[in-house]
Amino acid sequence: MSIKQSFEQNNSTQYYDPSAKPVVDIDMTECKEEDKPRMIALVNRLSKSPCGLETLTIAAENGFKFSFFDSSVRCFGGCDEAGHWVRLSPTASDDKLVGTLCHEARHAGQFARGSHEAFGVKDVRSELIAFRSTEADAQTYAVTACKELELLGEKGPYQTFKEFYPEIEKAFDTAYKAAGNKITHEVMTETFDGWYDQLRTKTVYEESYQVNPMIKEIYDLKQGKEPTLFYDKEKVSGEEAIALAGWTKDGNYYTKDPKRLESGKFLDVAEASMKDMEEFFKMRKELTGMEPDPSLKTIPTRPDTLERKRPKMGEKPIANKYEMKDRILANRRQYEAGLKVAEKVAFAKAAAMSKSR
């Protein structure tokens, strides 16, 4: 199944047992009646995985409500701390949504343990450490659950995850084989680290979680509104981030030194992202007199890997974070399409060389 098919698959003809009951007692009060059988089917499917069952149970016990987005929302899934909900895309395939459900339910567990998604509370360095660690952890749980399902004979979710997130799957598979085809804490650690190899994904997240809120802040300040982003109230270390992100009922799975998250590929931002953030603090000082965040000087940069189309600092911003996630998806799909084109070109060259021999 292609990425396009996985997102655009029409599930209206698929049968879901209307009499089925969820293995985990989830709150579906916000789920449309006609969508409940599908949600129950996804929950019960994910629950076959020990990792998935643990994740769903924690989300359910902490009162998160499960439902689907409106079909106009183009992101695969979301979890909201304030609204206490988990939502999935109704237009994506079930194989895709199994992993997404685990990912978003893991975010619910992170919030229950004390993670927060508010922008501008932590300094920029701490935001990068904290926000990235939650994404890396959520993907680690998602691919682990998908692998557990594959070992039970359900290959679809794992193969779909592999297609969408090749860097993460490669890190998982390499470690899994090195561990004698066993899922261990070491395997999960290597998978977590693999999230940071996604250069384009990191760039898009920087745009969504650091740059876009700054664009909106400058726009609002120019309209005479009061500041909302301060970047001076909280600091987060690698150790603190891992303590929240790597939690399992069997102890924290992260086996390496958490201080790793404070340097190198774990902390770096694209050069364009750094320029945007520097411009934000310069413009904010001109508008309010507030001093720049000193943590910015401690953040390393990497060459740009993605051409971005975004508003300039102070222009009208993207409306909300789910539109931001739409852009993450759009950029991801563009990246995957580019990979497929490159593969076809390489194959054609190899075939031409073979014929010339």
The residue with tokens 């993670």 is: 115
262 CB contacts (<8 Å, ≥6 apart)? Answer: 125, 129, 237, 238
- Domain of residue 260 covers 118-330
Q: Of the residues 81, 114, 147, which one is the last residue of a structural domain? A: 114
Q: What is the pTM of this model?
A: 0.87
**Residues 46 and 142 both lie in one domain:** no
The strand pairing partners of 78, in sequence order, are: 87
Q: Tens-digit pLDDT profile for the chain (357 aa)?
A: 444 444 445 454 689 999 999 999 999 999 999 999 999 999 999 999 999 999 999 999 999 999 999 988 888 999 999 999 999 999 999 999 999 999 999 999 999 999 998 999 999 999 999 999 999 999 999 999 999 999 999 999 999 999 999 999 999 999 999 999 999 999 999 999 999 999 999 998 999 999 999 999 999 999 999 999 999 888 999 999 999 999 998 999 999 999 999 999 999 999 999 999 999 999 999 999 999 999 999 999 999 987 777 788 888 886 654 454 544 444 444 444 444 444 443 444 444 444 444
Distance CA 176, CA 178 (A): 5
Residue 82, Ramachandran bin (φ over 0: left; ψ between -120 and 50: alpha; else beta) = alpha
- What pLDDT is stored for residue 307 in this prediction? 77
Quick check: is 350 in a domain?
no
CATH of the domain at 22: 3.30.2010
Q: Of the residues 114, 129, 146, which one is the last residue of a structural domain? A: 114
**Token pair for residue 337?**
């399409």
**Residues 58 and 187 both lie in one domain:** no
Q: Of the residues 90, 114, 138, which one is the last residue of a structural domain? A: 114
Of the CA atoms within 13 Å of residue 160, those in its CB half-sphere come to 24
303, 328 in Cβ contact below 8 A?
Answer: no
CA angle 137, 161, 193 (to 5 degrees): 35
**Residues 323 and 236 both lie in one domain:** yes
**Residues 158 and 133 both lie in one domain:** yes
**Residues 320 and 287 both lie in one domain:** yes
**Residues 138 and 284 both lie in one domain:** yes
Based on the structure, what is the number of domains in the chain? 2
User: Of the candidates 260, 339, 324, 274, which has an alpha carbon nearest to the alpha carbon of residue 304?
Assistant: 274
**Residues 103 and 150 both lie in one domain:** no
Quick check: is 215 in a domain?
yes
- What pLDDT is stored for residue 4 in this prediction? 46
User: Of the candidates 310, 309, 125, which has an alpha carbon nearest to the alpha carbon of residue 219?
Assistant: 310
* 3-state class (DSSP) for residue 85: strand
